[in-house]
Amino acid sequence: MPQKAANKKINNYTITGIIGKGGMGQVFLAKHPTLKRKIILKQLKLKDKESKERFLLEAKVMLDFRHENIVQVYDHFKEGVSTYIAMEFVDGKALNTLIEEIEMLPVPLALFILYQAALGLFHAHQKKVIHRDIKPHNILISKDGDVKITDFGIAYRSTGDNDQQLTAPGTVIGTPAYMGPEQFSTSRDVTIRTDIYSLGIVFYEMITGVRPYKNEFSSDVIDAIAKGKYIPATKYVKNIPPIARKILKKTFNPNPNARYKSLVPLIKLLRAYFKNMNHYELKNSIKRLLNNEQDFAKYPVFKHLKETQTKAKRRFYLTVVFLFISIGSFLFIYTNRYYEWIGASKYGKVKIQFKKANLNKDNIFIGIDGVYEKAKLGKQKVIKKLTIEEYENEIISQVNNNDRIFLNSLYKKKKPNEESEPAYILSKNLSSDEKNRVMKLLDSTIFNTYTKELYIPVGEHEFSVMAGSYKNIRREIILPRTMQRSNAKYQTGQTVYIPIGPIGEKDVIVYFRFWNSLNPNKLLFIFENYDKDNGLLQDLLKEENELYIKLKNNNYITLKRYLRGFLKNTKYAPFYTNHTYHFMVKNFDLNGVNYDEKRFSVNFGLDDRTVVVHVPLIPTPGTLLLTSNQKSLPLILNNKKSGYIYTKGDYQYKQYTKGETEKIGDKLYQFKYQIPPGIYQIKFDKDDKPQRITIESRKTVKLKIEKKNGKYIF
């Protein structure tokens, strides 16, 4: 408590009490003349130059601070033989007094005090000021729960070339119990990490109630500090939270490089920790600490933490119960335990099975009572290490006699005692025709069998396989699982096998439409699939000769000739389902425009009956060859700077400046453009008068361009 003093004035400050006295001066409690609030007035009586300069340095340093967690300095002045500093009065206690009274501060409140102190100290570091004497005595706590750092009397300010310090190099200064190892050597080693170390010791003392080191300059103390020998906080405090352990590890460490580089990570860590806490509750709880209230359970912050922990536990248990129920339900339903136990009298187990034969595997749907889903055939099944006899039982028994003879002939190519693998693995020993035949046989055997297991209600159901216009239906009565399990035949479920034999090929009517690739609306010519029964054979003779078809001997003949042979000599149709045909349109001219050769294939599926094929044909380009004394030409065709340019067998739409350029002489350049045949208006400047040129397929138009007086001449 401040001692009462007579109402005297010192430089407009009314003295209301004396807080302390010493050999260097006094500390007064005073009243600010304009702010009308209590302040602290520190007096220095000593006349030695160093003490005065240190006193003034503290005032100058603290005058630059404007932070709620640093004691504010209002003024400094000289009156008579004394020097004074007027500063903020903190109505509360120093942290060391609070530790003496409480002994061990609750960790959450110690963390909040540390958080506020770190914010104030970080502000000082931003001003390039190192405190060098962080200890509980210099951390004040107000009755409102605010934390403020004070006493920058031995602070060090780095200002570049003129660092402000009053301690000679090599001088040890500070409070031993809170000094970092580097502080005992030379002030040149002192950095912001030194303050961070001291802050870590303060935190240790807050939660344990003891200092880790004795407060004396002795070789034993200095050696212990240098080696980090102290009693761990866990010996004093049980169940220290992970955040406290991490802070002690990253602050209170004898190796400066192992500490935080700045206070930013510490502040972020603490800010995240207090994110969901009410700061008013925290400050109210610190206020109760100052009043020495021992029942922590009544503190607002601990009530909040207890509620939070209760909610967290409730959420945890609810989550565990939910996961247990979810996992149990998943296992119960998706492992079919429901159908095997509870629903065994209402549901039966079914294995739907069929072989895809020559159906298109990408277009097969399986249906139950009219509800369809796509059948996933997956990869071909590989049966390894079978003897020839076993292999015959699996494969050969499923094919007709001619195919059986064919497959047996392939096995004779194998060595006497060599184990057999599926025939398609032997493809390296087969000719192209043999390989194709083997693959077709495999398509109709066990290698493309579809199997689907499921549980469905008991009773009669319709099972079907659909692929395009093909549909195969089988009806079957499904027994309940209770009856299935009592019958050896159905213990693993009833198999509903839908027999699908190779589907017969049908004729396809084909129409071709050929279009200009650059003008999709321009029809070049058509080709019809003629039928002799409809009297269209004569019309076939009128067809164009441009379209060719590839024969088995790899030769091409005109499609007109191919169809005419079918219509005259056979009763079969020219095109069939489940076949692939290869066509070619040879180079041809139409209305003065030549078109590139085009090769394409058409595959007819099992359900294809009438097919119209639209094919784009590419006009053969002509060449525009420009020679100029200019390194680049701004070509404009038909008032456009971009257009179709023929590149690598097709046209690309791009700027004409992207054409082929080549230097062919001294200051002479050649520009080559392959463009669609047609009539063009050409110019090189928007104000030029265009000239007309005609580009023909496979022909070259040459122009010489010169630029004179800013104009292009050609």
Does the pLDDT value for residue 414 go beyond 70? no
Closest by CA to 548, choosing from 510, 582, 525, 595, is 582
Does the pLDDT value for residue 561 go beyond 50? yes
Q: Distance (Å, rounded) from C-alpha 392 to C-alpha 384?
A: 13
154 DSSP 8-state letter: T
Does the pLDDT value for residue 17 go beyond 80? yes
Closest by CA to 4, choosing from 24, 15, 40, is 15
For the record, the structure tokens of 8 come out as 């005297």
Q: Which residues contact 79 (CB under 8 A, 6 or more apart)?
A: 10, 11
Neighbours of 388 (CB within 10 A): 15
**Residue 77 pLDDT:** 87
pTM metric for this prediction: 0.49
Question: Which segments of 134-278 does DSSP mark as H helices, in order?
Answer: 192-208, 219-227, 242-251, 264-273
Q: Distance (Å, rounded) from C-alpha 278 to C-alpha 299?
A: 12
Does the pLDDT value for residue 666 go beyond 50? yes
709 DSSP 8-state letter: T
Does the pLDDT value for residue 509 go beyond 60? yes
> Considering the chain, what percentage of its residues have pLDDT values greater than 70?
82
Q: Distance (Å, rounded) from C-alpha 137 to C-alpha 96?
A: 5
Please tell me whether residue 368 adopts helix, strand or coil conformation: strand
* Longest Cα–Cα distance in the chain: 138
**Residue 400 pLDDT:** 62
Does the pLDDT value for residue 166 go beyond 60? no
**What is the Cβ-side half-sphere exposure of residue 356, based on CA atoms within 13 angstroms?**
26
For residue 600, the one-letter residue type is F
Closest by CA to 667, choosing from 631, 701, 703, is 631
Q: Distance (Å, rounded) from C-alpha 458 to C-alpha 73?
A: 90
Q: Distance (Å, rounded) from C-alpha 207 to C-alpha 608?
A: 84
Q: Distance (Å, rounded) from C-alpha 591 to C-alpha 602?
A: 28
| pLDDT band with cut points at 50, 70 and 90 for residue 354 | confident
**Residue 710 pLDDT:** 79
Does the pLDDT value for residue 95 go beyond 90? yes
| Contact between 187 and 171 (Cβ < 8 Å) | yes
Does the pLDDT value for residue 420 go beyond 50? no
Q: What are the pLDDT digits (tens) for 668-709? A: 899 999 999 999 999 998 888 899 999 999 999 999 988 888
Closest by CA to 177, choosing from 200, 146, 155, is 200
Which residues, listed in sequence order, are joined to residue 699 by a DSSP beta bridge?
none
**What is the Cβ-side half-sphere exposure of residue 416, based on CA atoms within 13 angstroms?**
0
Question: Which segments of 64-191 does DSSP mark as H helices, in order?
Answer: 95-102, 107-126
Q: Distance (Å, rounded) from C-alpha 714 to C-alpha 705?
A: 5
Burial level of 355, CB count in 10 A (0-12/13-18/19+)? buried
Closest by CA to 593, choosing from 651, 527, 679, 513, is 679
Q: What order of strands is seen across the sheet that includes strand 365-368?
A: 371-374, 365-368, 459-467, 470-478
**Residue 424 pLDDT:** 40
Neighbours of 464 (CB within 10 A): 19
**Residue 469 pLDDT:** 72
Q: Distance (Å, rounded) from C-alpha 62 to C-alpha 71?
A: 8
Closest by CA to 597, choosing from 698, 674, 673, is 698
209 DSSP 8-state letter: S
Closest by CA to 662, choosing from 617, 632, 699, is 632
Four-residue CA torsion sign, 220, 221, 223, 228: positive
| Contact between 678 and 651 (Cβ < 8 Å) | no
**Tokens 């003093």 -> residue:** 5
Q: What order of strands is seen across the sheet that includes strand 610-617?
A: 519-528, 509-516, 610-617
Which residues, listed in sequence order, are joined to residue 519 by a DSSP beta bridge?
516
Q: Distance (Å, rounded) from C-alpha 706 to C-alpha 714?
A: 7
239 DSSP 8-state letter: S
Higher-pLDDT residue of 560 and 494 is: 494
Does the pLDDT value for residue 262 go beyond 90? yes
Q: At what angle do helices 279-290 and 300-334 cross, to 10 degrees?
A: 130
Give the mean pLDDT of 645-658.
89
Q: Catalytic residue at 133?
A: yes
Q: Distance (Å, rounded) from C-alpha 128 to C-alpha 139?
A: 20
CA distances from 211 to 139, 245, 294, 479 (A): 16, 17, 22, 82
**Residue 443 pLDDT:** 53
**Residue 356 pLDDT:** 72
For residue 548, the one-letter residue type is Y
Q: Distance (Å, rounded) from C-alpha 628 to C-alpha 631?
A: 8
| Contact between 442 and 426 (Cβ < 8 Å) | no
| pLDDT band with cut points at 50, 70 and 90 for residue 382 | very low
Q: If residue 434 lies in a helix (H) or strand (E), which one and from where to where?
A: helix 432-443
276 DSSP 8-state letter: T
**Residue 372 pLDDT:** 85
Four-residue CA torsion sign, 442, 445, 446, 450: positive
Q: Distance (Å, rounded) from C-alpha 356 to C-alpha 372?
A: 16
Neighbours of 698 (CB within 10 A): 11
What is the Cα 448 distance to its own chain's centre?
39
Kind of pairing between the strands at 509-516 and 610-617:
parallel
Active-site entry in 75, 133, 369, 607: 133
**Tokens 């780095």 -> residue:** 158
2 DSSP 8-state letter: P
Q: Distance (Å, rounded) from C-alpha 289 to C-alpha 99?
A: 10
Q: Distance (Å, rounded) from C-alpha 361 to C-alpha 85?
A: 93
**Residue 46 pLDDT:** 66
In order of their start, the domains of the chain are 3-88 (3.30.200.20), 93-290 (1.10.510.10), 347-497 (no CATH), 509-617 (no CATH), 622-713 (2.60.40)
| Contact between 214 and 122 (Cβ < 8 Å) | no
